[in-house]
Amino acid sequence: MTDAPSSLTIGIPRETFPDERRVAIIPDLAPSFTKLGFTVYLESGAGEPAGYADSLYSAKDIKVVKSRDELFESADLIVQVRGFGANPEAGKEDLKRIRPGQMLLGHFDPLSEPKLIQELAGTKATAFSIELLPRITRAQSMDALSSMATIAGYKAVLMAADQLTLMFPMLMTAAGTIAPARVFVIGAGVAGLQAIATAKRLGAVVHAYDVRPAVREQVESLGGKFVEMELEAGEAEDKGGYARELGEEFYRKQRELMHEVVSDTNVVITTAAIPGKKAPVLITEDMVKAMPAGAVVVDLAAERGGNCELTELGKTVEKHGVIIIGPVNLPSTIAKHASQMYGKNLLAFVRNMLKDGKLEMNMEDEIIRDTLLTRDGSVVNERVKDLLGEGDSKQEGSDS
């Protein structure tokens, strides 16, 4: 079954979420879309925050338009970093621009904002949420969450190093030996593994913990030391490969066992986030009090409520002699590479849908089925329907 017209036009709007610097497609990827049969339109200025001037797009035969209205009118497929849901305030302005049957692809934050997805469905758009991509081998090249988590894990270590009153590596100097910093990474998903690798490259002694014992080998392959905790996690992942919420009793026991490790650590980086749910509290105020003076906590779950009890969203604060960082939208701070990676994820997704020169809605393909949010005026994704009280079964999922 084919939903898209054969004209294959694609539009790249300027991102309107506050401080969002990424762009959905960079100029160097334009020829790849052109070869697939697309005519590509760009809203003027869309790439500038990431360092891509309009002239770079024009040089790749992308049609630059000045009006956002014209962009939405021209494109059959709109590709964004943040669509409505992930951009609830400024994104609302675009609802009136969306045409029935128009395809949308990007982040929509559907598990946190299901009612906004209902509103999006009212436009009769066919929307795909890249966050809902199943974590299967065939979808790895499309996995935007992993791409952005890679950047977040890397940047978290740089932020910690900038705030820490110690240097990361061990140094032998004429003034004596400088002991290496001790870094503890909680969560060995994509963000956590990148944080481990980055901290190790900077010379720190790195320890890491994850509820999934199976990731021990990955931690050790990066030079980290895996922290053992006698805990029964049960099923730590759902069938889609995302972390599952484990319950307050589990987290309470985990915090007790973690207290000793944290108290001897200079930098703690936390990565436990569950889309649609509040992040579990892993670092309590008492644990912060036990940390060495001048230590740093970087809470990558700040946007989901925080893994640290003292995290303040979007702020760097000092509590009990410890610096606590609650970063917002870290991938946007490395916008050039983030845009490059994200654009390649979208290219792979679009290429998977393309059959005989048309975008096909093959509902037997779990990539298409699981990411499809809205169609013909209705919310069709089962996970989102569950949250709205319309689904047939209960499911859970998470990030990196």
DSSP code for 96: G
Angstrom CA distances, 149 to 268, 271, 306, 325, stand at 17, 9, 16, 17
* Alpha carbon distance 22, 192 (integer Å): 22
Phi, psi of 316 (to 5 degrees): -110, 115
Q: CA-to-CA distance for 232 and 195, rounded, in angstroms? A: 25
The tokens for 309 are: 């009890």
Nearest alpha-carbon partner for 196 in 307, 280, 271, 256: 271
Residue 11, token pair as written in the block: 């539009």
In contact, 287 and 252? CB cutoff 8 Å? no
- From residue 343, how far is each of 47, 112, 142, 305 by CA, in Å? 12, 24, 9, 29
List, in sequence order, the alpha helices (H) in 107-143: 114-121
Answer whether 325's CB lies under 8 Å from 296's CB. Answer: yes
Question: Which H/E stretch holds residue 339?
Answer: helix 335-353
* Relative orientation angle of helices 144-163 and 335-353, to the nearest 10 degrees: 170
Q: How far is C-alpha 394 from the geometric centre of its chain's CA atoms?
A: 23
Strand partners, 127: 104, 374
Q: For residues 196-220, b (16+ Cβ closer than 10 Å) or e, as one string?
A: bbbbbebebbbbbbbbeeebbebbe
Residue 348, both tokens: 């792979």
Residue where the block lists tokens 């890679």: 150
Single-letter amino acid, residue 308: C
Q: Could you list the active site residues?
A: 135, 140, 143, 146, 242
